[in-house]
Structure 1
Amino acid sequence: MTSRRLTRGVAALAAVALAAGIVGVSGEAAAAAAAPVVTRAALDPVLVAGRGAAVDFLEQEAENATTTGSIIGPDRMAYSLAAEASGRKAVKLLPGQYVEFTLPKNANAITVRYSIPDSTTGGGIESPLSVSIKGSTKRMTLTSKYSYLYNQYPFTNDPNAGLLHPDWWITECACVPTQTTPTPQITKPFRPMHFYDEQRLLLGKTYRAGDVIRLTAPANAAAWTVIDLLDSQQVGSPHVRLVASNVLLFGADPTGRRDSAVAFDKAIAFAKAKKLKVYVPPGRYQVNRHVIVDNVTIEGAGSWYTTIFGKEVALTTPAPDGSVHTGVGFYGKDAAAGGSANVRLSGFTIQGDVRERIDTDQVNGIGGALSNSVIEGLYIQHTKVGIWLDGPMKNLKISNTQIVDQIADAVNFHTGVTNSSVTNSFIRNTGDDGLAMWAETTTNSGNTFDRNTVQTPTLANGIAIYGGTDNTVSNNLIADPIREGSGIQVGSRFGAEPFAGFLDITNNTTVRAGTYELNWNIGLGAIWFFALERNIDAAITVSGDHYLDNTYNAIMLVTDWPVKDLYSISNVVFRDVRVDGTGTSVVSARSAGSAVFENVDARGVGAVGINNCGSFGFGPAGSEFSLSGSGNDGGGTTGPWFGAWQLPNTITCDDRPPVVAPPAPSPW
């Protein structure tokens, strides 16, 4: 799906083998040097220009590099290593094998996204990885203790566990096990997921463009090591703040051997009294509980230099909010207590120790209520949710932040968050929605998700909007959702307040989106509207979006079967949209209602352009869902996608047509 510029004859033969669908190129056939192939979300950057976060690193997919290992994938079905890889491909190394990346620009730092096996009883293992460049070798210690979830929601770390909910419907056996005699045998481990993790490494000096980095699984490595990608960058010097409330002066330990929570509290109190900023110099600081922040600025030396980490700590008695653990995190005061305001957090890493999903736990990187505040330049890893905010609160700006390897969401604006934004931020490998606005009990309004990149959410959606008023989703890049969600969801569910005012979804790009919904046994759209608890009838406009390489449908409007005669979806306009390749249809309508399509162009459509089931009434007057519009061009082998014969509401219901692998995206 990305252009290859492999050099030398043997490498060219390897490229031909890949194009022919051969899975795995190893040994001498891949040993020739490869010119660097830089991608964004495993795509040629030309295809996503102006979309997503402008980051300071360059992405190189392992499948485009030189390797003596084997290429796995492509695969889009959940529960596989290839499906969770960026671009749905990766390189698998056995002990002694390597993958080589040629630096496209000068760099002194790398990030490696990888997977290694779990232990047989769960809990993870460690394994070495050798990093060699220009005669210098460093050793990384990879771990799988933050990977591997199994079973049904909310999941378990035990690969040998029986069903967590034997009273739930199980697609694999098409049954409810507790109601079945004899009880069906479910293959273990059941539904393995969340395979990947990533590590950063400062190289100690700057290497030049054209230098080759070799990642080798040494002889004593795990049975296999999968390398998904390498990000390389030039990291600047540490930020220094001389006149500040320096945490070292209050006893903080930069070696991480002692807990520094009390020192942080003292530094914050001094800073507020003296109207100073708090400065956290380079180092690793252990903090095993929440640090409460209000009316304070905390600056690190940069996220590559200042790390604040902590253990997950079991509480002797549950907290009032239901938490049974605590851990490192920066929290505003509860909204019920007035919340916090005028907080600025910048230039450091928050690294948690969360390995299981317990929804009542407040073990997030940042939490509470933070009004009139700024979060900028952070790197958040291994917490439950990177940033979970409980309103009412207003005017929070999150920008230039990376959130990776989460058990649940990256960012969730939950309940009464207004006039707030997430911009130019990079999200990868979440265990639930990447970015979410959830208007539970109190509406969210005036919020914006703009110019963010969301890659490989292992569950749910890249971006999800659950109710709310006057919100905007713009200029984002969303790639490779895995299961039970897709690129963008507009959902009336989870107790959300109704959609009202407007919702603008504009100039976003999704790629390889549209997952397989296990319970419905159908494919989802790259963008999907889901009316489960209310009508969706606000003024919703989707304009300028590009839906690339859609696994199933590009656009889906659906009401769940039990409420199909209660709720509908209407007043939605799709304008100036491009659909480049679908496995099935352009539009799948499984709801009553209507939508307008203006200048929606499609190509590489795998099935009939419109799958119109409506609410399954199938009356002589046609479907309960009607489509109208003009200027809609293109289609596939079945003819124009927006054919006159289908309009306004001809029944063309086929939820499960043969899936046709779409062609690779290309410039329009």
Structure 2
Amino acid sequence: MAAAVSFSTLTAATAAGAAPHSAPARVTRAALDPSLVSGRGADLGFSEQEAENAVTNGTVIGPGTDAYTLPAEASGRSAVSLKPGQYVEFTLPADANAITVRYSIPDAPTGGGITAPLDVAVNGRDHRNMTLTSQYAWLYNEYPFSNDPAAGPLHPDWWTTECACVPNATTPAPTFATPFRPNHSFDEQRLLLGRTYHAGDVVRLTAPAGSTAATTTIDLLDSQQVAAPKVDLRAANVLLFGADPFGYRDSADAIDKAIAFARKAHVPVYIPPGVYQVNRHIIVDNVTIEGAGSWYTVIKGHQVTLSTPAPDGSVHTGVGFYGKDASAGGSHNVHLSGFAIEGDVRERIDTDQVNGIGGALSDSTIDGLYIHHTKVGIWLDGPMTNLNITNNQIADQIADGINFHTGVTNSAVRNNFIRNTGDDGLAMWSEKTADANDVFDHNTVQTPVLANGIALYGGTDLTVSNNLVADPIREGSALQIGTRFGAVPFSGTIKVANNTTVRAGTFELNWKIGLGAIWIYALEHSIDADIEVTGDNFLANTYNAIMMVSDFSVKDLYSITNVHFSDIKVDGTGTSVVSARAAGNATFQNVQARNVGAVGVNNCGSFHFTPAGSEFTLTDLGGNTGSGTTGPWFASWELPNTITCDDRPPVVAPPAPSPWS
């Protein structure tokens, strides 16, 4: 973090005299040197460049981790703020004909968002205009949030940490101020450049003079070379069934007709380049639907208010591809690829079925989609089995990125990129029925605004491997294994292997303590399945790297046992390597730690402080190296259950991660 700031300061100071091609490209992954995350996360062919590392005459903001601020929600916890007339410019690291800009502009004073221009120029010419919007950003207040920046408390009887509101009172304390808890402030937009530019060419983003946005905050630029559109002459082309590629007329009925024909003829459905208006669900079963590529084929809809609520509780509908409900047998043999879904969801209503992909899809694949501005990118309700989700990008969701809900089995999510979700990036939620034998592998999750990067809520024989999770913001962290939300207990083996987290271990606003980058949480059941955490790297943790915790109200009911950590690297903690706030036990082997900000083990157990020691036992299996503030992080005097409890130790900001020799 410190190195990035000094680089940003240098480039900003010299920006006024900079000429095109004067600044080298600085490519990162999750705002880190790519070598630090090699082999982890998704690879979808684009190069990330952080604005704080670029040439600018604007203002670098951050780094910062305080919730409800722009730096906290930015990749790398830092960004560049532009006033009208200011710019930030990026040197292309490789050939590119397309860019994605992640940005934030202010909300309208009464909510609902504004639009503002952004000038895109390459090498000082070839100008193109982007119209930025905050219509899909800026939520406020308590869950499930409000679009009104002036709204008072949504739940006056809730304990609200930030405003000292009195429970069961209808009038908040005078300390309450609006806008209250502004969040979900960033959005992204993609642009085809119309031709290929080359390494060393300079892309300048300028907030034009007279912009309607008082500030335009640029977080990053992704650049890539997009392949030519795919053509399939042997498929059922939706144009032949009346679809409108210009988006003036609704094309849902035409797509339905193409699907019906394709099923009879045993051919795929092809949606050629264009923007197709679709304002309801397309029901899919035993069909292949392929676009020309997600940059060319866009299925875009308006959110539609239903005249009466649907049986499932929805009060809106919108664009989405849905399998049949599991109660009706679900759908099978569905293959979706090569198109974008652009939704129109601006508020969180959990009963609404306004997801990009939904229903139950067995023996199916979802590949190469771009899903934007829906409630949840992909939400599957089981029982269902054998679904593979690969090579997709999901951005700017009101809730989750991908959720396996209830009895999803033998399914995998691989090589997907997920950014700016309003809830968990990836989740397996075994509500009532266990998810089993599922895998989340080689995915990247960045900046989940609420909850966790990757979460497992109950289930059997689950694997989370080779993922990269960066910059979780509040009320969650990077990785969670938790018994909550009505989930069945864990069973079998839960494997968390070879993942990298960065700038996780966040501050829990309700508890007012720091979490771990990985936190194991016993809320509704004890956790006693075989949990294997192996080969993971926890980098630049704001608070702890590892946490075992039970809610205080159930701390004497539930415990966490049979957890095994091995071959772990911890580089930087604001507080401890391990925080134990529950009864139970765990083993540690070859856990290397450095740049630890507090005592290595913060062992509170279940807070009874018995003469026999903590109720949480840590077992040293050897090879645990590195130091905390009191000597070796895993000192012999701490074992097996010495009480070392410091409820809220001072925080020491960790240095930037570096290669491990």
TM-score interval (norm. to shorter)? over 0.9
Residue of structure 1 aligned with 2:317, choices 326, 346, 355: 326
Q: Distance in 1 between matches of 2:334 and 2:189?
A: 29
Residue of structure 1 aligned with 2:527, choices 531, 536, 542: 536
Residue of structure 2 aligned with 1:448, choices 439, 443, 447: 439
Residue of structure 2 aligned with 1:663, choices 625, 630, 655: 655
What is the CA distance between 1:176 and its match in structure 2?
Answer: 2.6
Q: Distance in 2 between matches of 1:409 and 1:110?
A: 24
Q: What SS does the corresponding residue of 2:36 show, helix, strand or coil? A: helix
Match in the other structure for 2:120: 131
What is the CA distance between 1:397 and its match in structure 2?
Answer: 0.1
Match in the other structure for 1:582: 573
1:143 and 2:136 are equivalent in the alignment: no
Q: Is the 8 A contact 1:26 1:70 kept in 2?
A: no
Residues 200 and 17 (structure 1), Cα distance of their counterparts in 2 relative to 1, 3 Å cut? closer
Structure 2 counterparts to residues 382-393 of structure 1, below 5 A? 382-393=373-384
Match in the other structure for 2:268: 277
Q: Distance in 2 between matches of 1:372 and 1:289?
A: 24
Q: Is the 8 A contact 2:103 2:186 kept in 1?
A: yes
Match in the other structure for 1:56: 45
Question: Counterpart amino acid of 2:80?
Answer: V
Structure 2 counterparts to residues 261-660 of structure 1, below 5 A? 261-629=252-620, 630-660=622-652
CA deviation profile, 1:62-89 (whole Å, cap 9, x unmatched): 0111001010000011100011000001
Question: Counterpart amino acid of 2:306?
Answer: L
Residues 591 and 182 (structure 1), Cα distance of their counterparts in 2 relative to 1, 3 Å cut? closer
Q: Distance in 2 between matches of 1:309 and 1:59?
A: 26
Match in the other structure for 1:11: none
CA deviation profile, 1:155-202 (whole Å, cap 9, x unmatched): 011000000011001112344354488843411000000010000000
Q: What SS does the corresponding residue of 2:73 show, helix, strand or coil? A: coil
What is the CA distance between 1:92 and its match in structure 2?
Answer: 0.4
Match in the other structure for 1:10: none
Q: Distance in 1 between matches of 2:236 and 2:578?
A: 57
Match in the other structure for 2:183: 193
- For normalisation by structure 1, the TM-score amounts to 0.96
Q: Is the 8 A contact 1:26 1:69 kept in 2?
A: no
Question: Counterpart amino acid of 1:28?
Answer: A
Q: Distance in 2 between matches of 1:598 and 1:109?
A: 46
1:28 and 2:16 are equivalent in the alignment: yes
Q: Is the 8 A contact 1:439 1:466 kept in 2?
A: yes
Match in the other structure for 2:58: 69
Match in the other structure for 1:92: 81
Q: Distance in 2 between matches of 1:43 and 1:520?
A: 30
Q: Is the 8 A contact 2:27 2:49 kept in 1?
A: yes
Tell me how large the CA RMSD over aligned residues is: 1.5
Q: Is the 8 A contact 1:593 1:625 kept in 2?
A: yes
**Percent identity of the aligned residues?**
72
Question: Counterpart amino acid of 1:193?
Answer: N
Residues 99 and 623 (structure 1), Cα distance of their counterparts in 2 relative to 1, 3 Å cut? same
Q: Distance in 2 between matches of 1:181 and 1:301?
A: 55
Q: Distance in 1 between matches of 2:7 and 2:315?
A: 54
Match in the other structure for 1:9: none
Q: Is the 8 A contact 2:440 2:464 kept in 1?
A: yes
Bigger Cα displacement from structure 2, 43-52 vs 510-519 = 510-519
CA deviation profile, 1:336-361 (whole Å, cap 9, x unmatched): 00000000000000000000000000
Q: Distance in 2 between matches of 1:581 and 1:267?
A: 55
Q: Is the 8 A contact 1:261 1:291 kept in 2?
A: yes
What is the CA distance between 1:220 and its match in structure 2?
Answer: 2.1
- For normalisation by structure 2, the TM-score amounts to 0.97
Q: Distance in 2 between matches of 1:531 and 1:555?
A: 14
Q: What SS does the corresponding residue of 1:585 show, helix, strand or coil? A: coil
Q: Distance in 2 between matches of 1:440 and 1:61?
A: 39
Q: Distance in 1 between matches of 2:86 and 2:204?
A: 10
Q: Is the 8 A contact 2:439 2:464 kept in 1?
A: yes
Bigger Cα displacement from structure 2, 31-40 vs 265-274 = 31-40
Residues 181 and 78 (structure 1), Cα distance of their counterparts in 2 relative to 1, 3 Å cut? closer
Q: Distance in 2 between matches of 1:31 and 1:546?
A: 39
Q: Distance in 1 between matches of 2:555 and 2:17?
A: 55
What is the CA distance between 1:639 and its match in structure 2?
Answer: 1.1
Q: Distance in 1 between matches of 2:406 and 2:34?
A: 36
Q: Distance in 2 between matches of 1:578 and 1:369?
A: 39
Residues 640 and 18 (structure 1), Cα distance of their counterparts in 2 relative to 1, 3 Å cut? farther
Q: Distance in 1 between matches of 2:429 and 2:14?
A: 47
Match in the other structure for 2:109: 120
Question: Counterpart amino acid of 2:113?
Answer: G
Q: Distance in 1 between matches of 2:146 and 2:73?
A: 18
Question: Counterpart amino acid of 1:635?
Answer: S
Q: Distance in 2 between matches of 1:570 and 1:122?
A: 47
Q: What SS does the corresponding residue of 1:577 show, helix, strand or coil? A: strand
Q: Is the 8 A contact 2:600 2:629 kept in 1?
A: no
Match in the other structure for 1:108: 97
Question: Counterpart amino acid of 1:78?
Answer: A
Residues 278 and 193 (structure 1), Cα distance of their counterparts in 2 relative to 1, 3 Å cut? same
Question: Counterpart amino acid of 1:224?
Answer: T
What is the CA distance between 1:31 and its match in structure 2?
Answer: 7.5
Q: Is the 8 A contact 1:53 1:426 kept in 2?
A: yes
Question: Counterpart amino acid of 2:174?
Answer: P
What is the CA distance between 1:15 and its match in structure 2?
Answer: 3.7
What is the CA distance between 1:610 and its match in structure 2?
Answer: 0.4
Q: Is the 8 A contact 1:128 1:220 kept in 2?
A: no
Match in the other structure for 1:8: none
Q: Is the 8 A contact 2:275 2:300 kept in 1?
A: yes
Q: Distance in 1 between matches of 2:174 and 2:205?
A: 44
CA deviation profile, 1:469-525 (whole Å, cap 9, x unmatched): 001000000000000000000000000010000100000000000111111110100
Residues 330 and 584 (structure 1), Cα distance of their counterparts in 2 relative to 1, 3 Å cut? same
Q: Distance in 1 between matches of 2:168 and 2:428?
A: 36
Q: What SS does the corresponding residue of 2:256 show, helix, strand or coil? A: helix
Q: Distance in 2 between matches of 1:419 and 1:34?
A: 48
Q: Distance in 1 between matches of 2:362 and 2:426?
A: 19
Q: Is the 8 A contact 2:163 2:173 kept in 1?
A: no
Q: Is the 8 A contact 1:474 1:507 kept in 2?
A: yes
Bigger Cα displacement from structure 2, 624-633 vs 333-342 = 624-633
Question: Counterpart amino acid of 1:99?
Answer: V
Residues 237 and 182 (structure 1), Cα distance of their counterparts in 2 relative to 1, 3 Å cut? closer
Q: Distance in 2 between matches of 1:534 and 1:39?
A: 40
Q: Distance in 2 between matches of 1:502 and 1:42?
A: 33
Bigger Cα displacement from structure 2, 410-419 vs 171-180 = 171-180
Q: Distance in 1 between matches of 2:300 and 2:474?
A: 30
Question: Counterpart amino acid of 1:523?
Answer: G
Residue of structure 2 aligned with 1:259, choices 228, 244, 250: 250
